Structure 1
Amino acid sequence: MDCGISAIELMGDPAESFAGKPESPVDRYTFFGFMRKSRNGELTAEEEKEFDNLKKEMAAYNSQVAEWRSKVSMDKFEELKKMYNDAGVSIYAFKPSAFGKDNTDDEINYGFKAAKALGASHVTLEHPSDDEHTKKLGEMAAKHGIYVAYHGHTQQTPTFWDTALEQSKYNALNLDLGHFVAAGNEAPLNIIKEKHDHIKSMHVKDRQTPEHGQGNVVWGQGDTPLVDALQMMRDNNYSFPATIELEYDIPEGSDAIAEVKKCLAFAKEALES
């Protein structure tokens, strides 16, 4: 509220913690640090052993969370929705870690129910790059009347979502325009124009093209056509929300709230021009 935002995509952890999800015994920073080093082949023998132990702990914890998700009441999610609404903020999307290929059907159903309890029209997740899984999610989404909007990074292309869209009318896009530009796609506004009926929300950031280094920069300093995109949404009455995603380095002396305010002011100026 302090930054002037009145609608959000809510990440899973804050909502689930509020609803009583068991706390993880695994330090996420350490775990994902080891995961990154493992991918790069940089783990020492001692780190490899520690990583193996953390993976066992994480697997046990994930089983505990799956059990919790299969039984938890939606009352706390409805209470959280009311808290946000009373503060003048609506929740249009929910992103828990419940929709992966390793999650149970009970977890997936829980994710849709929680999204509905929060007042969201769709859930978001990283595109799994698995046609069977997007088909399954689309079919399950239809039963709940909640859309599944798939997010992408620099693997996005104009045809990235096509198979999922063909599989179910409840499969959709969580487009990231900045990443789309950083991937080197030409004419980025075309993806909005061509897929607007399937876009449920769009992440907005300013990134550079590959030729300019793919940097994530202060709005207005990169190659992402933010002004044109926002004005296209306005002029064509596109109803999906554009999510401010603050990913550039926060300047010294500033903070996240101040920078989000700057992004919001940028967007308002674009829409008033």
Structure 2
Amino acid sequence: MENQSSRRQFLGTTAALLSGVVLSNTKLFGAPALIRSLGDKPNSLINGVQVGVITYSFRDMPDQSAEATLQYVLDSGASAIELMGGPAETFAGAPKSSVDMRTMYPLMRKKRENQTLTDDEQKTLTEMETQMKAYREEMAKWRQSASMSKFEQVKKMFNQAGVTIYGFKPDAFSMQNTDAEIDYGMKAAKTLGANQVTLEHPANDAHTLKLGKMAQQHGIRVGYHGHEQQTPTFWDTALAQSPGNAMNFDLGHYIAAGQPDPLGLIREKHSRIASMHIKDRQTPAHGKGNLPWGQGDTPLREVLSLIRDQKYTFPATVELEYKVPDGSTSVAEVKKCINYCRNMLS
């Protein structure tokens, strides 16, 4: 009877949430599948290690709504996530962007990794960056009056399905965002149940000082993400500025940067790591490739075992960046990655 009661309560809550979605004209993709999954909640807390996923991993999926994103998470077997801004803000009524991020993300990555863009690629990226600038201005206006009640609904929908949101990554914390947008983003994160917001390290000491102080006021932390510019001292200035500043350490990029001792870094700074991205990359000597797990040089087993054995509490976040094989999907590949973690920690 207890299980039936909890199931009825779950159905009632989900129905109420989804009826609210209908009223807000948000797409209902994934809702029937979600209801079919009610009795089978995911669990990616593995021997004390919280394995999660950043929803950026599902960027190639056609539907980026909150409901569809939740279904991707459930199908991958993850029970905790770092949530990108798009799904939550769209649910909350944000203006729709005309930029195709599935096209823009690979071009941004290619540019960031100093790969040569073709003339057509550079033209496309420049046009998209112009569109994104205009969209950010539109978003800044919307955020001035955005209701937190919609973010509360997102939290309830995910939590009722067995998924917690530990991180939130909207495009609201960069140097081009206003203080009002930053404040909004941190309020939204708290409403979603997150204990951290994440962003690319801005490489600006004044900005990290401001973000750290604002994070303290909101009772959360700012996790700064790095790519191949990560070094053992990469975060030191920000960490010294405020207890509100923390690391969103990327293990795979650290290996691709040629850094020799990620376990030493983790041991030294574990209390300041808010979350860690995991992927399997090669060292520079082997080409820096981003490969299916088990084929690269990243010490995934050693790092996950360290987290388990030392009882570190920060989540290890799957970030899918290797090429999805023909015939597969990003959801299926994330599931493989989580199962890979499960096997290593068993």
Judge same fold: TM > 0.5, yes or no: yes
The partner residue of 1:182 within 243, 246, 256 is 256
SS in 1 for 2:211: helix
Contact 1:31/1:51 (<8 A) preserved: no
Q: Does 1:12 align with 2:112?
A: no
Aligned-residue offset at 1:220 = 1.4
Distance change >3 Å, CA 70–CA 254, structure 1 → 2 = same
SS in 1 for 2:147: coil
Q: CA RMSD in A?
A: 2.3
Match of 1:124 in 2: 198
5+ unaligned residues in a row in structure 2: which ranges? Answer: 1-73
The partner residue of 1:92 within 166, 170, 182 is 166
Contact 1:34/1:43 (<8 A) preserved: no
Aligned-residue offset at 1:214 = 0.3
Structure 2 CA distance for aligned equivalents of residues 251 and 242 of structure 1: 23
After the TM superposition, which of the residue ranges 24-33 and 197-206 deviates more from structure 2?
24-33
Aligned-residue offset at 1:55 = 5.6
The AA in structure 2 aligned to 1:4 is G
Aligned-residue offset at 1:27 = 4.6
SS in 1 for 2:134: helix
SS in 2 for 1:184: coil
Distance change >3 Å, CA 218–CA 32, structure 1 → 2 = closer
The partner residue of 1:22 within 82, 90, 95 is 95
- What is the 5 A alignment of 1:145-184? 145-184=219-258
Structure 2 CA distance for aligned equivalents of residues 227 and 62 of structure 1: 40
Query: What's the TM-score, normalizing by structure 2?
Result: 0.72
Aligned-residue offset at 1:128 = 0.4
Tell me the matched-pair count: 268
Match of 2:17 in 1: none
Identity of matched residues, %: 58
Aligned-residue offset at 1:258 = 2.1
Structure 2 CA distance for aligned equivalents of residues 89 and 118 of structure 1: 11
The AA in structure 2 aligned to 1:19 is A
Match of 2:4 in 1: none
- What is the 5 A alignment of 1:1-273? 1-28=74-101, 43=119, 47=123, 51=126, 57-272=131-346
Structure 2 CA distance for aligned equivalents of residues 33 and 224 of structure 1: 22
Aligned-residue offset at 1:224 = 0.6
Match of 2:7 in 1: none
The AA in structure 1 aligned to 2:169 is K
Structure 1 CA distance for aligned equivalents of residues 102 and 274 of structure 2: 31
Distance change >3 Å, CA 34–CA 263, structure 1 → 2 = closer
Structure 2 CA distance for aligned equivalents of residues 176 and 122 of structure 1: 16
After TM superposition, the runs of 4+ consecutive aligned structure 1 residues lying more than 3 A away are 25-37, 39-44, 54-60
Structure 1 CA distance for aligned equivalents of residues 212 and 261 of structure 2: 29
Structure 1 CA distance for aligned equivalents of residues 107 and 324 of structure 2: 26
Aligned-residue offset at 1:43 = 4.7
Contact 1:34/1:51 (<8 A) preserved: no
Structure 1 CA distance for aligned equivalents of residues 245 and 318 of structure 2: 22
SS in 1 for 2:138: helix
Query: What's the TM-score, normalizing by structure 1?
Result: 0.91
SS in 2 for 1:115: helix
The AA in structure 1 aligned to 2:91 is F
Structure 1 CA distance for aligned equivalents of residues 138 and 241 of structure 2: 32
Aligned-residue offset at 1:30 = 6.6
Structure 1 CA distance for aligned equivalents of residues 119 and 261 of structure 2: 41
Distance change >3 Å, CA 20–CA 264, structure 1 → 2 = same
Aligned-residue offset at 1:194 = 0.8
Aligned-residue offset at 1:181 = 0.3
After the TM superposition, which of the residue ranges 20-29 and 140-149 deviates more from structure 2?
20-29
Aligned-residue offset at 1:269 = 1.6
